[in-house]
Structure 1
Amino acid sequence: MPPVNSRSRVAVVTGAAAGIGAAVARMLASDGYSLALLDRDGVELSSVAAELAVTYGGEIVTYVVDVTDRDGVDMAIESVVERFGTIDALAHAAGVLDTGAVLDSDPSVWRNVFNVNVFGLLNVMQSVGRVMRTRRVGSIVVVSSNAAGIPRIGMGAYGSSKAAATMLVRTAGLELAGDGIRVNVVAPGSTDTAMQRSLWVDPNGDAGAQAVIEGNLAAYRLGIPLGKLATAADIADSVHFLLSDRAAHITMQALYVDGGATLKA
């Protein structure tokens, strides 16, 4: 089957059903990308795709797949290439968050967090990266976290997984640089998404946001110097920039988008 639109850039977005992933999909759709959206939540994924089709038009396909399922990822990426002929960009936003003290958390929690945040990333990176390598062109941006660069009480599994993911990305960037493929990280801080709100006593209220902004010296949290949470669109802007030709000489970098919360630790 010939590509649907050979003149349009093609992007794969994982974790596209909600939060930062959905915001990235909106940003890329508004810029004329053809999109392949991946997520394990098929209902929300279909809703996002329908919204984008009405608002922006363009070619949008969806794949209900868990990034931990290597065969499922490979089948989805093969289908993307069959439909569009190529993949120009990957925005990997799929991830999970779990909390608990290092000494008291169950090892099964750590295995699940690493399975999604590290091995799920590896599955997608390998599947998409091999397609890009054959063409010797492409750009990859992985959404990590500022928790990768600074310890947070109760976030041992999450922070460790994001630190591993960040090093995976930087190493892949070094290995793929000779093929003309750029690989970067966007490291958000506290962002107003369902994942962030799940940490608050009242997910629907504003008290949780204010507590994050003010910080907590007893928990060694600085707070946010800019005085506000990020929006998902704030993070999507940074992903869009790093995927674009405006960032043509940027690779192996981690861009912290956290309002100064970690003082770029």
Structure 2
Amino acid sequence: MNDVVAKPLIVVTGASGGIGSAVAAKLGDSGYSVLATDRAGDDVLTADISSPEGISELEAAIEHRIERGQVLEGLVNVAGVLHPGKLLDLQPEQWEHMQSVNAQSVFRMTQLVARLMIDQRDQDPGNSRSIVTVSSNAGRTPRYGMAGYCASKAAATMVTRCFSLELAAHGIRANVVSPGSTRTAMLLGMNGEAEMNRASVAGNPAQFRNGIPLGRIADPEDIADSVAFLLSANAKHLTGIELTVDGGATLS
């Protein structure tokens, strides 16, 4: 058995983005074989998981790895999009796009991977298999001008936690990591560099937004560290939890 086949397989969606790329790199360094996917990017399987065709492409790629002898041990749902805008102005297609990528793909991918895990090896008493969804603290805290994103992330969080109940009998854990403001292209695109740091750390009372008590925006690697923990044996008795990684921004 070669080294790649001997490593446990982890699937990472949205792997070309800031958090997704950091997650893929962290897991690769931690001894996993990573099947990274995104709509575009270098060193990733190009597949649009918001479409049935993209899901089918990814399913074929995972099954090919399994046929080669790899053990499917994890999924990290990172893919996400944001269309800011007040509810009175938000276009239906923007709402639907966020729901499709941020929520529906979490359901589709988790269902797909969990079924493949069960088919490959059911009843794992060691709870070594794990699914992690990267959601957002906006999934439980209203945000001004971000209602579509908040709603889609709330759905992603809840469907993952419900999966945790149904998959527990199979020895599969399902947890959520909810970042706050993180230094990514998505956040930079909303505010610009200077405003990103000032507004995120200081908060915005006029928009009912708290600041960050720890005084800094998260780096993608901060989120990747939490994902890696929940995938690891160190979290073997954790399932159905939401780990909020936001420097204390949603403490109250």
Give the Cα separation in 2 of the matches to 1:72 and 1:194.
24
TM-score of the pair, normalised by structure 1: 0.88
Give the Cα separation in 1 of the matches to 2:95 and 2:228.
31
Give the Cα separation in 1 of the matches to 2:33 and 2:157.
27
1:81 matched to 2:66? The reply is no
Give the Cα separation in 2 of the matches to 1:148 and 1:252.
15
1:91 matched to 2:72? The reply is no
Q: Is the 8 A contact 1:68 1:120 kept in 2?
A: yes
SS in 1 for 2:209: coil
Deviation at 1:170, TM superposition (A): 0.5
In the alignment, what sits opposite 1:65? 47
Give the Cα separation in 2 of the matches to 1:10 and 1:80.
9
In the alignment, what sits opposite 1:112? 97
1:177 matched to 2:176? The reply is no
Deviation at 1:4, TM superposition (A): 6.8
Q: Is the 8 A contact 1:118 1:162 kept in 2?
A: yes
Q: Is the 8 A contact 1:224 1:260 kept in 2?
A: yes
In the alignment, what sits opposite 2:34? 35
Amino acid at match of 1:15: G
In the alignment, what sits opposite 1:221? 209
Q: Is the 8 A contact 2:161 2:175 kept in 1?
A: yes
Amino acid at match of 1:105: L
Deviation at 1:98, TM superposition (A): 1.0
Deviations along 1:42-80, one digit per CA (max 9) or x if unpaired, are xx2x2xx3xxxxxxxxxxxx3100111223223322322
1:156 matched to 2:147? The reply is yes
1:211 matched to 2:210? The reply is no
In the alignment, what sits opposite 1:12? 11
Deviation at 1:3, TM superposition (A): 7.9
4+ residue runs over 6 A deviation: none
In the alignment, what sits opposite 1:245? 233
Q: Is the 8 A contact 1:86 1:131 kept in 2?
A: no
**What stretches of structure 1 of length at least 5 have no aligned partner?**
50-61
Give the Cα separation in 2 of the matches to 1:69 and 1:86.
26
**What stretches of structure 2 of length at least 5 have no aligned partner?**
none
Give the Cα separation in 1 of the matches to 2:219 and 2:17.
13
SS in 2 for 1:36: strand
TM-score of the pair, normalised by structure 2: 0.92
RMSD: 1.5
Q: Is the 8 A contact 1:139 1:243 kept in 2?
A: yes
Identity of aligned residues (%): 44
Amino acid at match of 1:260: G
Amino acid at match of 1:167: M
In the alignment, what sits opposite 1:261? 249
Deviations along 1:90-143, one digit per CA (max 9) or x if unpaired, are 111001011111122112211111011111112211111111122135200000
Deviations along 1:122-168, one digit per CA (max 9) or x if unpaired, are 22111111111221352000000000011011011000000011110
